[in-house]
């Protein structure tokens, strides 16, 4: 089987970009969380973690 070309530099950049996106999402989520009643965010969290 012929394997695809793998560019480790490109993969490393992809990994860094994904991580940055997750960190940016934390900014958005914490802003939403601060404005949301406990009942609202915790019921969503509870559905996920059960």
Of 45, 27, 25, nearest in space to 37 by CA? 45
Nearer to other proteins, 5 or 46 (CB): 46
- CA dist list (Å): 10 to 5, 20, 23: 11, 15, 20
**Binding-site string for other proteins from residue 5 to residue 34, where x marks contact by CB under 8 A and - marks none:** --------------x--xx--xx-xxx-xx
Per the CB < 8 A criterion, the answer to whether 26 and 18 are in contact is: no
Size, binding site for other proteins by CB under 8 A: 24
Q: Applying CB under 8 A, which residues contact other proteins?
A: 19, 22-23, 26-27, 29-31, 33-39, 41-46, 48-50
């Amino acid at each position: 089987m012929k394997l695809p070309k793998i560019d480790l530099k490109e993969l490393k950049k992809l990994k860094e970009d994904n991580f940055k996106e997750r960190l940016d999402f934390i900014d958005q989520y914490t802003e939403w969380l601060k404005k949301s009643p406990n009942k609202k965010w915790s019921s969503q969290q509870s559905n996920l973690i059960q």
